[in-house]
Structure 1
Amino acid sequence: AASAAAQEPASGRRGWRAELESYRTAADNDAVDGADGGLIHQEDDEEVERKLAESRARREALIANWVNRGEGGGEGGALSMPDTNCEEPDSDGEVAAFFAQKQKELEGKPQDDKALEERKAINRFILEHRGEHDADMFTENDDAQDALNKASQLPEGGLRWDGASGDDWNDAEGYYKAKIGEIMDDRYQVVENMCGKGTFSNVIKAKDQQDGIMVAIKIMRCNDMMRKAAEKEIEVLERVAAADKHNKRHVIRLLRYFLYRDHLCLVFECMWDNLRVAVKKYTKDKGMSLKAVRAYTRQLLIALQHIHRCQLIHADIKPDNILITAGHNLVKICDLGSAVELTEVEITPYLVSRFYRAPEIVLGKEYGVQIDTWAMGCTLYELFTGKILFAGRTNNDMLRMFMELKGKIPHKVIKSGTTWKNHFDENLDFKYFDTNKATRKKITRVITDLTQKRQIVDQVLQRVGAEKQKSTAPEDIVYVKKAKQFADLIEKMTALDPERRVTPHDALTHPFVAEAFAAGGGGGGREPKHA
């Protein structure tokens, strides 16, 4: 099932400003300059690295300028919004008809229990191995990250290209060792040979010699189960793309896939960096401007709504899995490798990276698409403040942090979980697993006062600063108003009861998203309707 299967790239371009487009084109040209045909000779490596560094610097300057826009005194007025009017005005019926037809097909199709169990087995495999890799958020101890860092280091020594065995192009763990200048599948010339590495794959950047564009290639490790996991991801990506033929729903686009030296390779549209890197590099972990966050919020809610309409749960929303275009104000959700169909849901207390894990998961309760909304709320808060909303060390610690910020979890939510007795006693008082600072022994403290200790709005306003809050300038008054609206949206997205959590569709009508960010006129007009 690994034959090359090309998808038509999305037609049409968004109306980005000519200045930024010219920067991107120049950067892409620099990235591949001197890489004409065959392998680049050793003596040219230093020059290639220099040009790549210059290209990165230009792109980073563009992104830094955008994500911080409106925070200082240098620029006034409202930030121009990205083109996120998802469909043409007459397309609502088209989208609705598509999903109605798919639902009809599902209802008329008998359930294949064997195939369902196979998919669930793949999901369990993915969850188990992602847990090993994302040790900082998935596991229940602090030592796992050190082991991860050591395991992620590439082996020392040069690459050999004089043989025909997989040992010549794979490392000891089955990752493919791409080389700068290498031509993959008679089409893709490698420009950067290590853009990222995860449990299942490593990612490279290449120039598509056929279409003349830059692409990102996800190269799966040589492992039967990991290939099955990749085939599942391809199926999910193709389903999401089929329901978004105009490529306006802010989900990463799979262009095609192919088999190369026994590795399944997935070709994606090329983005620049993820939002965690953007916050760290371009804001020094202080958080992005509220205007940029608002633009991203709208785009990401559109993406989440689209994924859910495809009967899928992403199951790993976090800043790392949201990509940003080079110098542009556009973001897309990526990494649907953990996505599960609504029919494949299995209770587990370790789904989703821990800092973004909803209460119902921690409590071993049945879950649905609402877990993505929770994770997105945590992510958006982090983009603005630069701080993780719930940075618990364990699931038990996560529950403590939930209740300090949100109050006690409703009794019906607690008792509907399969693991609630691990964390609450028969009186539903909280059993907090702590460490005695003097003896360093583990102890259990029963906490009866589970009232709210802090509020999200206070933490958001702390990021805004006292000066803006006291200011009488019209633009500052509007800014503080929008900040409070943002805090209210995060409150609704992180409701402890999943049944009361706002949906992406309703969140798109929330004043923070729907009302334009402009001084005067009570907060500005409304944004165009979303499809």
Structure 2
Amino acid sequence: MSATTRAVGQSGRRYLVERILQDKHMPHGLGRVYLALSDNQKYVLKKLSATRYAYLEPLYDDVRSSPYVRVAADAIPDESMFAYTYFRGHLLGFTDKDVPLSITKQILKDALRGIAALHHKDIVHTDIKPDNIMINWTEKNDGTIIIDRVQVADLEDSAYVPPDCDIIGRQVGNWMWRSPEAHASGAVQKPTDIFSFGIVCIYAITKHIIFAVTDEELNEGEEKLAVVLERQVSYFGDIEGMTGLLEHLKDNPWVGLYTLILQAFGKENRPMQPIERWEMLEPDFKDLVKRMTSMDPGRRLTAYEALAHPWFADVP
């Protein structure tokens, strides 16, 4: 499929492809994303492998009832392609706007509702990050922004993980938002989504990606991942959390690495910088994020517990 191609969905809707939005240059156009029109409405078409397409069809049906999860609006089976409703943007770019705190809280709560809907079905997203939180909004003449819809998107790496199972042996997710157990390719369950979402919350409030590392910040021979791991321990590595993480990882070789990182703090005037001391965060928000980002997966809030936290109390 290429620009100016026409396609017909299962719904009977006819799509006119306008242009390519993203191309991963994979064989047969896999992963390619198109902007298309149908009846003057914009849609996003995405081509997948036949295997991934077949996997996602029932998963979408399982969470279709939630308005906070982005599922396909239509399908083009012959092309192994899904059609999605077009959104104006995502949280990664939206933070450039100067909006009241109430707007940011609404976006975060709606995104958390989407995560809760996935977890209710025993689905772990595995790749929670700001550009997977889609936002539609209306901007009035006076500059006021009204949030129309927020959805957790990009379920392609999601997996059904029942309570007695784990994802093991994969560094799931993006390295700037990834949980400590996911970095270690350890046992991953719903708490890994919660850790990632906690980092997203910090980003949304501070407009700073705390695990982004520039080349200028690196010492000679130092890798970015090493800095990320040190920051995780420094910000969130209290004794209870680190003990729980090491127990969770069991005989994983990363146990030694995290132990060395923890031991290095306190030496050579390298104090830790725990989130409790971050003066730029209000107490309720700080408490919420701390409880979502424990290094111990077993100590993190569930999605439903986080939704009930006082920081979200004033969000409808």
TM-score range, shorter chain: 0.7 to 0.9
Q: Give 1:219's match in structure 2, choosing from 25, 47, 50.
A: 47
> Does the Cα contact within 8 Å between 1:254 and 1:267 map onto a contact in 2?
yes
Q: Report the RMSD for the aligned CA atoms in angstroms.
A: 2.8
Q: Structure 1 residues 494 and 348 mapped into 2: Cα distance closer, same or farther (>3 Å)?
A: same
Greater relative CO (CA pairs within 8 A, separation 6+): 1
Alignment map for 1:407-418 (pairs within 5 Å): 407-408=237-238, 409-417=241-249
Normalising by structure 1, we get a TM-score of 0.49
Indicate the SS of the match to 2:84. strand
Tell me if structure 2 keeps the 8 A contact 1:407–1:452: no
Is 1:201 aligned to residue 24 of structure 2? no
Change (3 A) 1:449 1:269: same
Give how far 1:401 is off: 0.9
CA–CA separation in structure 1 for the residues paired with 2:251 and 2:47: 38
**C-alpha separation in 1, matches of 2:290 and 2:51:** 38
Q: Quote the Cα distance in structure 2 between the aligned partners of 1:230 and 1:458.
A: 46
Q: Which blocks of at least 5 consecutive residues in structure 1 are unaligned?
A: 1-175, 221-225, 433-445, 463-482, 517-526
* Distance in 2 separating the partners of 1:300 and 1:197: 27
Change beyond 3 A, Cα 1:322–1:235: same
1:335 alignment partner in structure 2:
154
Residue 296 of structure 2 corresponds to 497
Q: 1:363 offset after TM fit, Å? A: 3.1
In the alignment, which residue of structure 1 is the partner of 2:88?
272
AA in 1 matched with 2:94: A
Paired position in structure 2 for 1:309? 120
Tell me the CA shift for residue 252 of structure 1: 0.9
> For residues 485 and 192 of structure 1, what CA distance do their matches in structure 2 show?
46
Match of 1:235 in 2: 58
1:258 to 1:460, Cα distance in 2 relative to 1, 3 A: farther
1:372 partnered with 2:193: yes
Moved more, 194-203 or 309-318: 194-203
* Counterparts in 2 of 1:422 and 1:490: CA distance versus 1, 3 Å: closer
User: Which has the larger share of strand?
Assistant: 2
Distance 1:459 1:359, change over 3 A: same
- CA shift in 2, pair 1:376/1:219, >3 Å: same
The structure whose residues are more often helix, as a share, is 1
Greater Rg over alpha carbons, structure: 1
Map 1:505-520 → 2, pairs under 5 A: 505-514=304-313, 516=314
Residue 394 (structure 1) shift: 4.6
Matches within 5 A, 1:365-404: 365-391=186-212, 394-404=224-234
Which residue identity lines up with residue 233 of structure 1 in the other structure? Answer: L
Q: 1:349 to 1:391 in 2, by over 3 A?
A: farther
Q: Distance in 1 between matches of 2:183 and 2:301?
A: 20
Partner Cα distance (1:301, 1:351) in 2? 19
Report the Cα offset of residue 389 of structure 1: 2.3
- Is the CA contact (8 Å cut-off) linking 2:246 and 2:255 kept in structure 1? no
What secondary structure sits across from 2:73 in the alignment? strand
**Measured at CA, do residues 370 and 259 of structure 1 come closer, stay the same or move farther in structure 2, by a change above 3 Å?**
same
Q: For the Cα contact (< 8 Å) 1:194–1:203, is it kept in 2?
A: yes
Q: In the alignment, is the contact (CA less than 8 A) between 1:323 and 1:332 conserved in 2?
A: yes
State the shift of 1:304 in Å. Answer: 0.9
Check 1:376–1:362 CA distance in 2 against 1; reply closer, same or farther (3 A cut). same
> Following superposition of structure 1 onto structure 2, how do residues 425-464 of structure 1 map, counting pairs within 5 Å?
429-430=259-260, 447=264, 449=266, 453-456=272-275, 459=278, 461=280
Tell me, yes or no, if the aligned pair for 1:252 and 1:333 is still in contact at 8 Å.
yes
In structure 2, the partner of 1:251 is 69
* Identity fraction in percent: 19
CA apart distance, 1:484: 2.8
1:23-66 C-alpha deviation (Å, 9 max, x unpaired)? xxxxxxxxxxxxxxxxxxxxxxxxxxxxxxxxxxxxxxxxxxxx
Q: 1:347 to 1:252 in 2, by over 3 A?
A: same
Provide the aligned length of Structure 1 versus Structure 2. Answer: 286
Find the residue that maps to 2:126 and give its secondary structure. Answer: coil
Contact preservation (8 Å) 1:293, 1:380: no
**CA separation of 1:197 and 1:485: change in aligned 2, threshold 3 A:** farther
Secondary structure of 1:337's aligned partner: coil
- Give, in whole Å, the separation in 2 of the partners of 1:402 and 1:276: 21
Matches of 1:385 and 1:326, distance apart in 2: 21
Query: Does the CA-based 8 Å contact 2:243-2:296 persist in structure 1?
Result: no
CA contact (8 A) 1:405 1:452 kept: no
CA contact (8 A) 1:403 1:452 kept: no
How much does 1:276 deviate? 1.2
